[in-house]
Amino acid sequence: MGRAFEIRRGAKEKRWGKMSKLFPKLGKSITMAAKEGGDDPEMNAKLRAAIATAKAENMPKDNIDKAIARATAKDAVNYTEINYEGKGPHGVLLWVECATDNNTRTFSNVRTTFNKNGGGLLPTGGLEFMFTRKAVVQFTTPDGFDIEEAELELIDHGLEEIEAEGNEAIAFGEFTSFGSLSKAVEELGVEITKAGPERIANSLVEFTDEQMEEIDILIEKLEDDEDVLNVFTNIG
Protein backbone atom coordinates (compact mmCIF):
# COMPACT_ATOMS: atom_id res chain seq x y z
CA MET A 1 0.00 0.00 0.00
CA GLY A 2 2.56 2.51 1.23
CA ARG A 3 2.61 6.20 0.52
CA ALA A 4 0.02 6.16 -2.28
CA PHE A 5 -2.55 4.60 0.07
CA GLU A 6 -1.76 7.12 2.79
CA ILE A 7 -2.22 9.98 0.33
CA ARG A 8 -5.62 8.70 -0.82
CA ARG A 9 -6.75 7.84 2.71
CA GLY A 10 -5.70 11.22 4.04
CA ALA A 11 -7.25 13.22 1.23
CA LYS A 12 -10.53 14.04 2.92
CA GLU A 13 -8.88 15.07 6.20
CA LYS A 14 -6.42 17.31 4.40
CA ARG A 15 -8.51 18.63 1.56
CA TRP A 16 -11.89 18.95 3.25
CA GLY A 17 -10.40 20.25 6.46
CA LYS A 18 -11.93 23.71 6.61
CA MET A 19 -15.56 23.55 7.68
CA SER A 20 -16.39 26.85 5.96
CA LYS A 21 -15.35 25.25 2.66
CA LEU A 22 -16.52 21.71 3.36
CA PHE A 23 -20.30 21.86 3.50
CA PRO A 24 -20.84 24.25 0.55
CA LYS A 25 -18.77 21.96 -1.70
CA LEU A 26 -20.52 18.83 -0.50
CA GLY A 27 -23.86 20.61 -0.95
CA LYS A 28 -22.95 21.60 -4.49
CA SER A 29 -22.06 17.98 -5.32
CA ILE A 30 -25.41 16.80 -3.94
CA THR A 31 -27.37 19.45 -5.84
CA MET A 32 -25.61 18.65 -9.11
CA ALA A 33 -26.18 14.91 -8.67
CA ALA A 34 -29.87 15.43 -7.90
CA LYS A 35 -30.31 17.74 -10.87
CA GLU A 36 -28.57 15.29 -13.18
CA GLY A 37 -30.24 12.04 -12.14
CA GLY A 38 -33.27 12.87 -9.99
CA ASP A 39 -33.81 13.47 -6.28
CA ASP A 40 -34.40 9.83 -5.28
CA PRO A 41 -31.15 8.37 -3.90
CA GLU A 42 -32.40 4.82 -4.49
CA MET A 43 -32.63 5.51 -8.22
CA ASN A 44 -29.59 7.80 -8.47
CA ALA A 45 -26.24 6.20 -7.63
CA LYS A 46 -24.34 9.46 -7.96
CA LEU A 47 -26.67 11.20 -5.50
CA ARG A 48 -26.53 8.25 -3.11
CA ALA A 49 -22.73 8.42 -3.12
CA ALA A 50 -22.70 12.20 -2.61
CA ILE A 51 -25.03 11.83 0.38
CA ALA A 52 -22.89 9.03 1.86
CA THR A 53 -19.79 11.21 1.58
CA ALA A 54 -21.60 14.14 3.19
CA LYS A 55 -22.83 11.99 6.07
CA ALA A 56 -19.32 10.66 6.64
CA GLU A 57 -18.20 14.27 7.02
CA ASN A 58 -20.99 14.90 9.57
CA MET A 59 -22.96 17.23 7.32
CA PRO A 60 -26.34 17.80 9.03
CA LYS A 61 -29.35 16.08 7.47
CA ASP A 62 -31.08 19.44 7.11
CA ASN A 63 -28.20 20.70 4.95
CA ILE A 64 -28.39 17.56 2.81
CA ASP A 65 -32.15 17.91 2.33
CA LYS A 66 -31.78 21.57 1.37
CA ALA A 67 -29.06 20.71 -1.15
CA ILE A 68 -31.36 18.15 -2.78
CA ALA A 69 -34.27 20.61 -2.82
CA ARG A 70 -32.13 23.25 -4.55
CA ALA A 71 -31.92 21.02 -7.61
CA THR A 72 -35.59 21.58 -8.43
CA ALA A 73 -36.02 25.12 -7.05
CA LYS A 74 -37.32 27.75 -9.48
CA ASP A 75 -34.23 29.86 -8.91
CA ALA A 76 -31.83 26.90 -9.08
CA VAL A 77 -28.30 27.80 -10.15
CA ASN A 78 -27.11 26.07 -13.30
CA TYR A 79 -23.65 24.70 -12.64
CA THR A 80 -21.29 23.72 -15.43
CA GLU A 81 -18.70 21.02 -14.85
CA ILE A 82 -15.33 22.03 -16.26
CA ASN A 83 -11.83 20.55 -15.99
CA TYR A 84 -8.43 22.20 -16.03
CA GLU A 85 -5.13 20.43 -16.55
CA GLY A 86 -1.87 21.81 -15.29
CA LYS A 87 1.69 21.29 -14.15
CA GLY A 88 2.92 22.39 -10.75
CA PRO A 89 6.25 22.69 -8.94
CA HIS A 90 8.81 19.96 -9.74
CA GLY A 91 6.71 18.76 -12.67
CA VAL A 92 3.77 17.39 -10.67
CA LEU A 93 0.69 16.91 -12.84
CA LEU A 94 -2.71 18.13 -11.67
CA TRP A 95 -6.21 17.52 -12.97
CA VAL A 96 -8.64 20.05 -11.48
CA GLU A 97 -12.39 19.36 -11.52
CA CYS A 98 -14.67 22.36 -11.05
CA ALA A 99 -18.37 23.16 -10.92
CA THR A 100 -19.22 26.78 -11.65
CA ASP A 101 -21.92 29.24 -12.60
CA ASN A 102 -19.31 31.60 -14.06
CA ASN A 103 -16.69 30.05 -16.33
CA THR A 104 -14.75 33.30 -16.73
CA ARG A 105 -14.32 33.72 -12.98
CA THR A 106 -13.29 30.13 -12.44
CA PHE A 107 -10.77 30.07 -15.27
CA SER A 108 -9.20 33.32 -14.07
CA ASN A 109 -8.95 32.11 -10.48
CA VAL A 110 -7.50 28.70 -11.35
CA ARG A 111 -4.97 30.16 -13.81
CA THR A 112 -3.86 32.78 -11.29
CA THR A 113 -3.43 30.15 -8.57
CA PHE A 114 -1.23 28.05 -10.82
CA ASN A 115 0.85 31.03 -11.94
CA LYS A 116 1.44 32.35 -8.43
CA ASN A 117 2.46 28.98 -7.01
CA GLY A 118 5.11 27.68 -9.39
CA GLY A 119 2.87 26.12 -12.01
CA GLY A 120 0.85 26.77 -15.11
CA LEU A 121 -2.14 25.49 -17.05
CA LEU A 122 -1.69 23.06 -19.93
CA PRO A 123 -3.75 22.89 -23.13
CA THR A 124 -7.02 21.01 -22.72
CA GLY A 125 -6.46 17.32 -23.41
CA GLY A 126 -2.78 17.48 -22.56
CA LEU A 127 -3.18 15.01 -19.68
CA GLU A 128 -6.07 13.01 -21.12
CA PHE A 129 -3.99 9.88 -21.64
CA MET A 130 -2.03 10.24 -18.40
CA PHE A 131 -5.05 9.81 -16.12
CA THR A 132 -7.74 7.12 -16.16
CA ARG A 133 -11.21 7.72 -14.79
CA LYS A 134 -12.17 5.15 -12.17
CA ALA A 135 -15.05 4.46 -9.81
CA VAL A 136 -13.67 4.78 -6.27
CA VAL A 137 -15.43 3.80 -3.04
CA GLN A 138 -13.67 4.38 0.28
CA PHE A 139 -15.05 2.61 3.34
CA THR A 140 -14.31 1.45 6.88
CA THR A 141 -14.65 -2.17 7.94
CA PRO A 142 -15.54 -3.79 11.28
CA ASP A 143 -13.05 -5.98 13.11
CA GLY A 144 -12.83 -9.43 11.60
CA PHE A 145 -14.07 -8.28 8.20
CA ASP A 146 -12.93 -10.66 5.44
CA ILE A 147 -11.54 -8.38 2.73
CA GLU A 148 -10.75 -11.29 0.40
CA GLU A 149 -14.33 -12.54 0.53
CA ALA A 150 -15.57 -9.01 -0.12
CA GLU A 151 -13.27 -8.76 -3.11
CA LEU A 152 -14.78 -11.90 -4.61
CA GLU A 153 -18.29 -10.53 -4.11
CA LEU A 154 -17.45 -7.20 -5.72
CA ILE A 155 -15.72 -8.55 -8.84
CA ASP A 156 -19.08 -9.13 -10.55
CA HIS A 157 -19.92 -5.45 -9.93
CA GLY A 158 -16.96 -3.96 -11.76
CA LEU A 159 -14.28 -4.17 -9.06
CA GLU A 160 -10.71 -4.11 -10.35
CA GLU A 161 -8.72 -3.75 -7.14
CA ILE A 162 -9.03 -3.23 -3.38
CA GLU A 163 -6.43 -1.50 -1.24
CA ALA A 164 -6.83 -2.20 2.47
CA GLU A 165 -4.96 -1.24 5.59
CA GLY A 166 -6.29 -1.73 9.10
CA ASN A 167 -10.00 -0.94 9.15
CA GLU A 168 -9.91 1.22 6.05
CA ALA A 169 -10.27 0.11 2.46
CA ILE A 170 -10.61 1.63 -0.99
CA ALA A 171 -12.31 -0.18 -3.88
CA PHE A 172 -11.37 0.77 -7.44
CA GLY A 173 -13.46 -0.22 -10.43
CA GLU A 174 -14.47 0.59 -13.95
CA PHE A 175 -15.87 4.11 -14.24
CA THR A 176 -19.00 2.86 -16.00
CA SER A 177 -19.68 0.44 -13.12
CA PHE A 178 -19.82 3.10 -10.41
CA GLY A 179 -23.51 2.64 -9.61
CA SER A 180 -23.26 -1.13 -9.37
CA LEU A 181 -19.99 -1.08 -7.41
CA SER A 182 -21.08 1.51 -4.84
CA LYS A 183 -24.37 -0.32 -4.28
CA ALA A 184 -22.56 -3.63 -3.82
CA VAL A 185 -20.18 -2.08 -1.27
CA GLU A 186 -23.18 -0.72 0.65
CA GLU A 187 -24.65 -4.22 0.75
CA LEU A 188 -21.51 -5.51 2.49
CA GLY A 189 -22.74 -3.68 5.59
CA VAL A 190 -19.73 -1.38 5.82
CA GLU A 191 -19.62 2.39 6.30
CA ILE A 192 -18.86 4.32 3.11
CA THR A 193 -16.78 7.40 3.86
CA LYS A 194 -16.31 8.70 0.33
CA ALA A 195 -17.46 7.62 -3.11
CA GLY A 196 -17.33 8.97 -6.61
CA PRO A 197 -15.46 9.00 -9.89
CA GLU A 198 -11.78 9.92 -9.67
CA ARG A 199 -8.92 10.53 -12.08
CA ILE A 200 -6.13 8.06 -11.30
CA ALA A 201 -2.68 8.77 -12.72
CA ASN A 202 -1.39 5.96 -14.92
CA SER A 203 2.16 6.53 -13.66
CA LEU A 204 2.94 7.79 -10.15
CA VAL A 205 5.96 9.90 -9.24
CA GLU A 206 7.52 10.20 -5.79
CA PHE A 207 8.64 13.58 -4.52
CA THR A 208 10.87 14.52 -1.59
CA ASP A 209 9.39 16.04 1.56
CA GLU A 210 10.84 19.41 0.58
CA GLN A 211 9.28 19.20 -2.87
CA MET A 212 5.95 18.15 -1.37
CA GLU A 213 5.87 21.28 0.76
CA GLU A 214 5.80 23.40 -2.39
CA ILE A 215 3.37 21.10 -4.17
CA ASP A 216 1.00 21.06 -1.19
CA ILE A 217 0.81 24.84 -1.19
CA LEU A 218 -0.50 24.83 -4.77
CA ILE A 219 -2.97 22.00 -4.10
CA GLU A 220 -4.30 23.69 -0.97
CA LYS A 221 -4.69 27.02 -2.76
CA LEU A 222 -6.63 25.33 -5.55
CA GLU A 223 -8.87 23.48 -3.14
CA ASP A 224 -9.61 26.69 -1.25
CA ASP A 225 -11.40 27.92 -4.38
CA GLU A 226 -15.16 27.56 -3.95
CA ASP A 227 -15.54 26.32 -7.54
CA VAL A 228 -12.96 23.53 -7.25
CA LEU A 229 -14.42 20.17 -6.28
CA ASN A 230 -11.45 17.84 -6.73
CA VAL A 231 -7.75 17.98 -7.48
CA PHE A 232 -6.13 14.77 -8.74
CA THR A 233 -2.38 14.34 -9.08
CA ASN A 234 0.33 11.86 -10.08
CA ILE A 235 1.89 11.93 -6.62
CA GLY A 236 3.13 8.45 -5.67
Residues 146 and 108: their CA atoms lie apart, in Å, by 48
Residue 231 has pLDDT above 60, yes or no: yes
What pTM did the predictor assign? 0.84
Gyration radius (Cα) of the chain, Å = 18
pLDDT computed for residue 18 by the predictor: 53
pLDDT computed for residue 15 by the predictor: 45
pLDDT computed for residue 16 by the predictor: 43
Q: What is the mean pLDDT of residues 188-198?
A: 89
pLDDT computed for residue 75 by the predictor: 83
Q: What is the mean pLDDT of residues 45-58?
A: 87
| pLDDT tens digit sequence for 15-30 | 444 555 788 889 999 9
